[in-house]
Amino acid sequence: MNMPRLAVPLLFLLLSLPLSAQDLGQPGSKSLQQSPRSEGDTQATLSAVVHIRMKALPGARSAETLGAQREGTGVVIDEQGHILTIGYVVNEAESIEITTHESKTVPATLVGYDHATGLSVLRTIAPLEGVMPMQFGSADALAVHEPVMVLPHGGRAAASIGYVMSKRKFTASWEYLLESALFISPPTMQWAGAALVNREGKLVGVGSLLLRAVEASQPVPGNMFVPVDALKPVLKDLITNGRRTEPARPWLGLGTEELQGRLFVTNVTRGGPAEKAGIQRGDILVGIGRDSVRNHEDFYRRLWSLGAAGTDIPLRLLQGTEIKDFTVRSMDRNQHFQRKPAF
């Protein structure tokens, strides 16, 4: 699985050849075949991948963990100059610049942010010349062990080939749950917003994280990609309204880690609902009301089932040697972060 970075035409050529179980490093893998793509197709695919540079608003709350200046990759998805990327790259942006594969730089603005998926949509303030938007594919159609293209900004030199190691549920410490995520190996070191592209040159995922292991049974490093399928139902809402139209989920600003069937509080967002309620790092989350919780999925599903943002959430925590009851007034996560008005 330790494959070198290759020029994009060679990658497409590789995708055109039958891949044996030995090639994939997986027993029982089926051979895969696909017609070679033309140089024109390759150029069109590469043209949709852009470089994002962002400067955060003064006093941005996310700057403490993500930095005041960030960069990553975006993918042009339509003729109107809308660009898809991972949200943390552009959260609380004061200014955003997009640089194309032809080294042309254009300002952009944040149009929509969907905290449920972690994806954001940008829009350039001027047309992008020489760019062919990338069409959406379907992550659902990908098979485990199937080869895919990983395209960060940087053109041919940055492109690499990866394999779908698994497709499964993903939970994280920051009140985040994806019903299905894509786990790809070998990893790219430029994962933030990187395009995951199928054999047909269509976008199937957006880079989110670098992981030490993408499978518990195989300690192989890789990346987690957010499938575009999760965004499709709300993309129009993000472009039109800046967010999905359904009521926002309750957010606590509570970071937890699972250990031996317990959820330990490892982070309390400054100025967030949990901090205001008196919850501290080192506390152990025992339950929501009288219902016990033992893992992230259980916690989030129970939390989100209690109502929309603004709902009072009853939590039980072990604080020191005493079990205490807290009532946390939840909020809309969007309201916690600053937002510069769109043009």
Is residue 305's pLDDT more than 50? yes
Give the pLDDT band of residue 105 (cuts 50, 70, 90): very high
User: Where exactly are the structural domains of the chain?
Assistant: 254-336
Would you call 299 helix, strand, or coil by DSSP?
A: helix
How many helices and strands (H and E) does the chain possess? 8, 18
Give the pLDDT band of residue 4 (cuts 50, 70, 90): very low
CA-nearest of 189, 221, 220, 231 to 207 is 189
Give the pLDDT band of residue 144 (cuts 50, 70, 90): very high
pLDDT digits (tens, 9 = 90+) for 239-280: 999 999 999 999 999 999 999 899 999 999 999 999 999 999
pLDDT at site 129: 87
Whether residue 323 contacts residue 290, with contact meaning beta carbons closer than 8 Å, is answered with no
Would you call 160 helix, strand, or coil by DSSP?
A: strand
Copy the structure tokens of residue 169.
Answer: 């549920």
149 or 18, which is more confident?
Answer: 149
Nearest-angstrom CA–CA distance, 262 and 324: 16
- Average pLDDT over the chain reads 89
Give the pLDDT band of residue 341 (cuts 50, 70, 90): low
% the chain with pLDDT above 90: 81
pLDDT at site 31: 36
* 270 alpha carbon, distance to own chain's centre: 23
Q: What is the pTM of this model?
A: 0.88
What number is the average pLDDT over the span 22-45? 53
Place of tokens 């497709």: 167
Is residue 340's pLDDT more than 80? no
Is residue 35's pLDDT more than 60? no
At residue 329, φ and ψ (nearest 5 deg) are -80, 105
pLDDT digits (tens, 9 = 90+) for 178-235: 999 999 999 999 999 999 999 999 999 999 999 998 877 778 999 999 999 999 999 9
Using a CB cutoff of 8 Å and minimum separation of 24, what contacts does 261-269 make?
261/294, 261/295, 262/294, 263/293, 263/294, 263/295, 263/296, 263/299, 265/317, 266/173, 267/173, 267/174, 269/61, 269/336
What number is the average pLDDT over the span 303-321? 97
Is residue 339's pLDDT more than 50? yes
24 or 299, which is more confident?
Answer: 299
% the chain with pLDDT above 70: 88
pLDDT at site 281: 97
Give the sign of the dihedral formed by CA 292, CA 298, CA 302, CA 304: positive
Is residue 60's pLDDT more than 60? yes
pLDDT at site 218: 73
The CATH architecture of the domain made up of 254-336 is Roll (2.30)
* SS3 letters across 162-219: EEEEEEEEEEECCCEEEEEEEEEECCCCCCCCCEEECCCCCEEEEEEEEECCCECCEC
